[in-house]
Chain A
C-alpha cells in the first residue's frame, strides 16, 4: 500500500512539474484505485511463451488468470513474446515483455491497461497525505518536445528486434521479407528506396508502390533503408521465416543536409546501373543559380558528360549527342520544349518536383525513342494527411503550390502554379521599344493520386506551360507544351505487379504579325502524340527479376500553317499537309544477380515505326541531288497507308562486378532508335524549331554506345570516386545543307542531310557526401564529331570529313561545393569551366555589290574563347521547429561572381566598308538575386 501510494504521488509530482497533458483524471484515478488494490492476493503466472504474438500471449494470460487486457492492437502487432516463466507476478512479467518498447501498463482491479509512451497512473503519490515527507526515486526521463519524442520513437524502432517466423534452431536457407516503405508524414509510398543488408551485401529497391520483397539468409540482420530526401533508418530483424514489415520513414526535415550523396552512396558502387545520375529537389535547391529559381535543367548541366551550347539555352547535349536526342519525360509524358523565355528558365516548377533522373548510358529497355539520354522528371504526390502550401518569390517569377488530401490517407491532390512578372517590368521601362515589348510565361502542374486499395492505385497528372512574347517590333510569338498522364498500378501479388499508363503530349508554336496589314500573317505548328503502355515486373527472387512491357505511340504533326491575319492581307495561305506515324515497341528485361560479385542486366527492345498517309510524296530523279528541279513525280498515299516502315532490335546489356565491398567495375552496351527529330540550323534550340517525323527520305536515327566504368568508395563510403568512359556511334543524325530553309518547306528532304556521328569521352568524378564540407568535382574529356558525305557536293559538308559538332567541348571541369556553417546557414560555390564551342569563323573578306563581305571557313573549324564561371550562394533557413506556421528560407546568390564576359558567340558584321567582329555574352556581369521561399 505504501509503495503504491508512493508511486502515485511520485508520478503526479512529475506530471505537475511538467504541466502538459490532461492529468486531473489521472489524479482521481490514483485516489480511487489504491484502495481495492490494497491487500489483494497477487496472482502468479507460469508458462513457456516462444515466439508468440502479443495477442496470443494475452489470450494465454487471460485463460490462466482473472486479468483482462485493454490495448490497441496497432501498438503491439509487431511485438512477439519470448519468455519462459514460472510463478512470476504479472508486473515483472509485463516489464520483461515490454522491455525496449514504448509500452507501459497499469494494473487496476484485474484490468491491465496498456498505454504507449506514458504510463497510466493508478495510485496516488506517496506523500499525497503526508506533505513534506522525504522520498527519493530516480526521475523518469520524459521527452516532451515532439522532436525528442520522434527521435525516441525512431531510436526505439531502430533498436528493437523484429522477429519473423517460428523460432527454430537450424538457421539454414533463406526467408523472404516483404512490406511497404511509406513517408510517415504524408503517407506517400517511397519509390526506389534501397532496402538492404551490408553483410553479405544484398538488397532491393522499392517498386513504384513503395513495396519491397527481399530474400535474405535466415538469421539476424541489420536491415537498412535509404532513400533520397528521407532520413536513413534501419531495423534489427531476426528471420526464422517469411514475414511482413512495414517501414515508415521520415522526411529529412533539415533541408540543408546533402541527402543526395548519402542516400546514393551504397547504390553507386553496388547497383547495376551506370551512367545514371539521380537528383532530388533538395540538392538542386542548394545550388546557386541565375534569376533566383531552382532549375532542373541547369543542375543537370553540372553533371559530368552534360553540355550546352551556351548560357540562356535549355538544350542539353549528353555525351556528344544533339539536343533533340534526349527523351524528356514528365510523369511519363514526353515534353518537347522544356524551356521558358528562351531557355532562361526550365518549365519544371521546382516546388512540385520529387526527383530527376538522367540516364546517359546503360539505358534500360523500358525506355526508347531517343538516342542520347533519358531525363525522367517526376512530380510529388500531394500530401495524404494534411493541407499545405509552399511557394517562392524571386526577382522575375513567383510560384505557389497547394497540396492536401481529398480523402484522408487515400486521395490527394497537388497543384503548382508559376508565372512571371517580366511583363510588368517591361511596362515600366523608359524606352518605348521595350515598353511595347511583352514577355510572359506561366506553367501549371497538377497531380491527383488515389489509392483504391492496397493492391491498386491511380495517378493522374497534368501539365501546361505557355510562353508568349512580342518584340518592340511587330511579331508576336507564342508556344505551349501540354501533357497529361494517367497511371494505374496494380499489385498482383508480392512477386508480380504491373502498371498501365496512358499519356498525351502536345507542343505547338505560333507567330504572327499585324503591323503591315498587307503582309499580316499567322503561322502555326503543332505536334501531338498519344501513348499507351503496359509494364509488368516479376520478382523471381531477390536476385532475379524480370520486366516486360509493350507500348504504342501515335504521332500527329501539323508542320506548318501560314494564313493571312488581316482582311487586307495579301498573304497566300500555305498549309503543309499533316504528317502521321505510329511507333510500337515491346521489351523484355532481365536483372540477375549471379552471385555476390557478379550481376547482369540484359534487355531487348523491338521497335517498329510506320510513316502513314494521307500524303503526297515527291519522287526525285535518280542520280541527281535532291532539289526542286529534280522532282520527277508525285505519289499519293491514301489515309492510313504506310509510306515507309522502319524497325529493329534495340539490345541493351550491362554487367557489374564487385571487386570488393566498396569498389566495382561495370560495362554496358545499348542501342537506341529515334523516329522523330527536331530540325534546327541554329546553335541553340529555339521555340520555332520544327519537329519532323522520319519519312522515306529522312531515315530514323540509331546509335550504339558502349561504356565502361570503375567505381570506388573511400573512407567508409563517404567519398565516392568513379571513372566512366564511353564510345558511341550514331547513324542518320540530321545535318543541313548550307543555308537550309526549314520553316514552311514542302520538301524538307532537299535541305536536310543524313549524317554520321561519333562521340567518345571519359568522365572522372569525386564526390564527398557528408560532413561540413561536401560537394563534387568532375572532369570530362569528350569529343563529338559529325560526318556528312553525300553523293553530290551540295550534299557534302567539309569535303565529307569528320568535323566537330557545335557542342564538341573537349575539356570540362565542374566543381560544386557546399559548406555548412550551421544547420540553418550554408554556403555554396560552383565553378564551371569548359572549352569554347566550335564555330565557323570568317577567313577572308571581299567586296561584292560595293560592300565588304566575309567568307567563312569550313564548318566548325574554330572555337570561341573558353568558358569559366563562378557562382556563390548563401542559404538561410528559418528555425527548425517542426510546428510553426510557416517554414521559410532566404537564398542570396550571385551568378557569375567574377563577371567574366563569357562568349556566347563571336560574329562579324559588314558595316559600310568595314568588317567588325563582336563577341556576345549573355550574362556578362555578376547577377545578384534574392529569393524568398515559404512552406506552410
Chain B
C-alpha cells in the first residue's frame, strides 16, 4: 500500500525537481550458469471438482521465453488422512484430475516425482472458502475507465483475496474486405472468410491480491482490477470481463505479495530489496534446491460484465485514430500481385477500374491478436 505509491512519487519528485530523472533499458550481463529449477503452478478447484497442475522449468534470462514443460512426472494429491488422488498427464506439462469432490474440512498436499528422480512435496493446504463476489462494475474517470469489484465474506473467515480476470473484446479492422485475391484474380469472400470483426481474449497479467485484515468487516470495496485508457480499442465495439475471486491463506497472500513486490514494482529509491521468492513446494530429495510456484486450493466465485460504448459518457466514446489509408490498384496490376494482398472493394462505376487496398493490419483484424470466431458466451 505504502511502498508502491511511494516509488511513484519519488519518480515524480525527482522529475519535477531535477527534470532529469531517467529510466532506460538495461541489458543484463549474460550469466553462464545453467538454470534448472522446477516450477509448480497448481490449484485444487473445489467449485468445479478439479485439480490442475502445470509443471515447467525456469530458464536463464537470455533464453527466448519458451518454458520447457516437465513431462512424464508422476503427480498426485494426498489428503491428510493418507488418501492419494493421481493426476493424469495432459500435453504441455499439464496434469489434471476432474470429477473429484474435495472436502473443505481436510487438508491436502501435492506430491511430485520427476523423471530425473527428484521428489517434491508441498505444505498441507486448506480448501479455502470463497468470498461473495458482489459486483463487478466500472467507473468513468477523466482519462479512462476503471473496472473494479466488490466482495465480502459474511462468514468472517476470508481475510485475503486473490483475483484474476479474463477480458474479451470485440473490435473491427479499419476496412472491411469483400474480395480476396486468388492467383491475381479478385474473388468475393464468403461470409465465413470475413476478417473484419474479431474477438480477442487476454488473461490478467498482474498479481491482484487484497486483504480485509485491517478492516473491521471482511469487505473488499472498489478493488481496482484494470484500467482502460481513453481511446482504447477495447471499448470500440463491446467489452467483456470475467472476474474470478478466491479466498487465500495468509501464507499464500504473503507469497503473492512478495512476488508482486519483487517483480512488479522495484527499482525506486525506496523500494524493498529484491529477494528470492519461493512458495510452498519443497524438494525432499535435495532440500537445498529451490522450487518455484505455489500449490493452493479453494472455491472460486466468478462474474462477467459487458460494456458497450453506448454505456459510456460521451468523452470516453472515442477511439484513437488508426492512421489507415486506402490505396488504389488498377485492374492491370492485379495479376502481378500475390494472394497476401488484401482488397477492400472495387472502384469505378459502372465499369470496375480497379480495387482499393490498404496495409494488412488495417484490413485483417486477426493481426491485432484476435480471432474471427465469436466466443460462445458472446451475446
Taking Cβ atoms with an 8 Å cutoff, the residues of A that contact B are: 290-291, 310, 312-313, 341-344, 396, 422, 425-426, 429, 432-434, 437, 439, 469, 471-473, 475, 477, 511, 516, 518-519, 521, 562, 570-572, 574, 681-684, 686, 688, 738-739, 743, 799, 806, 840-859, 901, 903-925, 927
Contact = CB atoms under 8 A, between A and B. Distances in A.
Contacts of B258: 738-739
B4 to A, nearest CB: 10
B306 to A, nearest CB: 23
B332 interface: no
A846 B39 contact: yes
Given A846-B293, A901-B22, 16 more contacts: A291-B18, A310-B269, A570-B215, A570-B216, A681-B272, A682-B271, A686-B6, A842-B28, A843-B31, A843-B33, A855-B37, A855-B58, A855-B277, A903-B26, A909-B265, A910-B263
A561 B31 CA distance: 46
Nearest to A916: B25
Given A688-B2, A918-B25, A924 B20 contact: yes
Given A341-B17, A909-B264, A909-B266, A843 B275 contact: no
A661 to B, nearest CB: 49
Given A516-B221, A920-B22, A313 B2 contact: no
Nearest to A310: B269
Contact of B37 (A519, A844, A915): A844
Contacts of A911: 205
A561 to B, nearest CB: 13
A342 B203 CA distance: 37
Contacts of B205: 850-851, 910-912
Interface string B319-362: 00000000000000000000000000000000000000000000
- For B9, B33, B59, B258, the residue with the greatest tally of chain A CB atoms inside 10 Å of its CB is B9
A918 B23 contact: yes
Contact of A572 (B12, B24, B216, B276): B216
Contacts of B2: 475, 511, 688, 743
Contacts of A313: 269
Interface string B244-265: 0000000000100111011111
The range of chain B's interface size is 35 or more
Contact of B214 (A342, A426, A562, A857): A562
B61 A844 contact: yes
B219 interface: yes
Contacts of A853: 259, 263
Interface string B4-47: 01101110111011111111111110010101010101000000
B99 to A, nearest CB: 24
Nearest to A473: B5
B292 A846 contact: yes
Given A516-B221, A921-B21, A923-B18, A859 B273 contact: yes
29 contacts: A291-B17, A422-B16, A471-B8, A472-B12, A477-B6, A571-B215, A681-B272, A686-B269, A738-B276, A739-B258, A739-B262, A739-B277, A840-B275, A842-B61, A843-B31, A844-B37, A844-B61, A845-B61, A846-B59, A850-B203, A852-B65, A859-B275, A859-B276, A911-B205, A915-B61, A917-B28, A919-B25, A921-B22, A922-B21
B294 interface: yes
A904 B271 CA distance: 12
A909 B263 contact: yes
B167 to A, nearest CB: 13
B270 interface: yes
Interface of B: 2-3, 5-6, 8-10, 12-14, 16-28, 31, 33, 35, 37, 39, 41, 56-61, 65, 67, 142, 164, 203, 205-207, 213-217, 219, 221-222, 254, 257-259, 261-277, 288, 290, 292-294
A-B pairs, top 8 by smallest CB distance, nearest first, are: A907-B267, A924-B22, A846-B58, A738-B275, A919-B26, A739-B258, A925-B20, A844-B35
Contacts of B271: 682, 907
Given A570-B215, A844-B59, A682 B263 contact: no
A924 B61 contact: no
Contact of A429 (B16, B20, B267, B294): B16
Contacts of A912: 205
A845 B214 contact: no
Contacts of B276: 738, 855-859
A920 B267 contact: yes
Contacts of B24: 901, 918-919, 921
B250 to A, nearest CB: 8
B60 A843 contact: yes
A429 to B, nearest CB: 7
B272 A910 contact: no
A922 to B, nearest CB: 6
A840 B266 CA distance: 11
B65 A682 contact: no
A688 B269 CA distance: 13
A845 B5 contact: no
A571 B214 CA distance: 6
Contacts of B59: 844-846
B16 A434 contact: yes
Contact of B221 (A475, A518, A739, A917): A518
A512 B20 CA distance: 29
A857 B262 CA distance: 12
A848 B269 contact: no
Contacts of A429: 16
B165 to A, nearest CB: 11
B269 A904 contact: yes
Contacts of B267: 905-907, 909, 918, 920
A906 B268 CA distance: 9
Given A290-B18, A854-B61, A849 B214 contact: no
Contacts of A854: 61, 262-263
B166 to A, nearest CB: 10
Nearest to A313: B269
Contacts of B25: 916-919
B128 to A, nearest CB: 16
B23 A923 contact: no
Contacts of A914: 65
A849 B43 CA distance: 10
A903 B31 CA distance: 20
Nearest to B294: A848
A686 B270 contact: yes
Nearest to A422: B17
B233 to A, nearest CB: 16
Contacts of B277: 738-739, 855-856
Given A475-B2, A855-B292, A840 B60 contact: no
B269 A922 contact: yes
Contacts of B61: 842-845, 854, 915
A405 B221 CA distance: 61
A477 B61 CA distance: 38
Contact of A840 (B164, B207, B222, B274): B274
A856 B67 contact: no
Nearest to B150: A518
Contacts of B216: 570-572
Contacts of B21: 920-924
A681 B214 contact: no
B58 to A, nearest CB: 4
A917 B26 contact: yes
A907 B164 CA distance: 25
Nearest to B217: A570
B18 A682 contact: no
Nearest to A511: B2
B23 A919 contact: yes
Contacts of B265: 909
A434 B12 contact: yes
Given A341-B13, A927-B20, A473 B274 contact: no
Nearest to B250: A628
A290 B20 CA distance: 12
Contact of A518 (B222, B270, B273): B222
A212 B53 CA distance: 82
